[in-house]
Amino acid sequence: MVETEEILTETEQSTFNLKSYLQQRKALVEQALDRSISITRPATIYEAMRYSLLAGGKRLRPILCLATCELAGGTIEMAMPTACALEMIHTMSLIHDDLPAMDDDDYRRGKPTNHKVYGEDIAILAGDGLLAYAFEHVALTTKNVAPEKILQVIACLGRTVGAAGLVGGQVLDLESEGKTDLDAETLTFIHTHKTGALLRASVESGAILTGASQTDIARLTSYAQNIGLAFQIIDDILDITATNEQLGKTAGKDIRAQKATYPSLWGLEKSQAQARQLVAEAIAQLKIYGDRAKPLTAIAEFIVTRDR
Ligand code: GRG
């Protein structure tokens, strides 16, 4: 078991400026996303795709991919197409999750949801368009990476979005609606698939692109699995403690829907402690990389301290 206090104190003492790092990386990602899709005919679908893709958000998944690629000896340029694809996939999952047939929400990233602006039919197709384009974008625009590594990344993304990943997690989530007696194992299954899988792929793909060894990929994947679960626990906590304005989406939905969450199973305090422990375990995986791991270490810390 890792000593949480010891690791967090070390991180706090580091001189790494996470705020400016995140701002700078986010700006690079936003620029690349803006360039990735232009409006052509039929304009409606391209506008709907761009509406959600460029609506903001923390850009955590692309930033994780870029940071892992750099840690493993690669460059931002090598990873940017995959980073953009991860954000396209994430955005499509938000568009579909917000649909009336799914979580039914009107508000996302501080704006009306895609179907509220473009209608359900176009919102479904905007999600489909983003999903398909994510794969095309990686295949066509990745430079200075061996073709077999690009193929591996494409396979990793496919596994992540399908029934073994996001789709499977979403199905179990839908089937669990109204069940207040959900056990921790089922809840963890839902979240490792629905939320954790894409965070894991963000880190794994960044490492794959550089030709990292299986040992490094396994170590970095373990980091990602821990932060993925911690991310969801904090998401559940923020749903209770934060405002609509803070989150840019509707807060308090889980309690209103009587949904089983980590805080409903364990309470707020134990959930917070569990998230901190997971982050400590994640950071422990990075120790071997020394200063090169500062960005990933600081991002893990950000996951438990974030307020939106
Ligand atoms: C992938 C084919 C395919 C279908 C989608 C709808 C669905 C299947 C899955 C739902 C996935 C989902 C919405 C999970 C929730 C993940 C989560 C915690 C999102 C919030 O992420 P943030 O806080 O959001 O990073 P921003 O807006 O900052 O990017």
The per-residue pLDDT for 260 is: 86
The per-residue pLDDT for 10 is: 46
Place of tokens 């990386």: 25
Domain count, the chain: 1
The per-residue pLDDT for 9 is: 46
Q: Which of 148, 145, 30, 137 is nearest to 89 (CA)?
A: 137
Q: CB within 8 A of 267, min separation 6: which ones?
A: none
The token pair that represents 46 in the structure block: 């391209």
Which atom, in ligand 1's list, is nearest to the CA of 249? 27
DSSP strand pairing (111-112 vs 107-108): antiparallel
Residue 12 within any structural domain of the chain: no
Residue 1 within any structural domain of the chain: no
Residue 6 within any structural domain of the chain: no
Longest dimension (CA), the chain: 56
Strands (E), the chain: 107-108, 111-112
For atom 27 of ligand 1, the residue with the nearest CA is 57
The per-residue pLDDT for 7 is: 43
How far apart are the C-alpha atoms of 50 and 111, rounded to whole Å? 13
97 lines ligand 1 (CB under 6 A): yes
Q: How far is CA 142 from CA 3, 35, 94, 162, 268, in A?
A: 40, 14, 25, 23, 43
Residue 4 within any structural domain of the chain: no
Residue 7 within any structural domain of the chain: no
Q: Which of 44, 15, 76 is nearest to 294 (CA)?
A: 15
Measure 288 CA to ligand 1 centroid, in angstroms.
31
Query: Residue 83 maps to which CATH number?
Result: 1.10.600.10
How far apart are the C-alpha atoms of 133 and 14, rounded to whole Å? 39
109 lines ligand 1 (CB under 6 A): yes
Which atom, in ligand 1's list, is nearest to the CA of 165? 1
Residue 2 within any structural domain of the chain: no
How far apart are the C-alpha atoms of 107 and 97, rounded to whole Å? 12
8-state DSSP, 252:
S
The per-residue pLDDT for 14 is: 52
Q: In whole angstroms, what separates CA 194 from the centre of its chain?
A: 10
Which atom, in ligand 1's list, is nearest to the CA of 161? 1
What is the mean pLDDT for each group of 10 consecutive residues in the chain (308 residues)? Answer: 42 74 98 97 98 97 98 98 98 98 95 98 98 98 98 98 98 90 93 97 98 98 98 95 89 84 92 97 98 97 91
How far apart are the C-alpha atoms of 206 and 201, rounded to whole Å? 8
The per-residue pLDDT for 186 is: 95
Residue 41 within any structural domain of the chain: yes
8-state DSSP, 111:
E
CA atoms within 13 A on the CB side of 140: 7
Residue 50 within any structural domain of the chain: yes
8-state DSSP, 290:
G
Structural domain that includes position 154: 17-303
18 lines ligand 1 (CB under 6 A): no
The per-residue pLDDT for 178 is: 85
Beta-carbon count within 10 A of 13 CB = 7
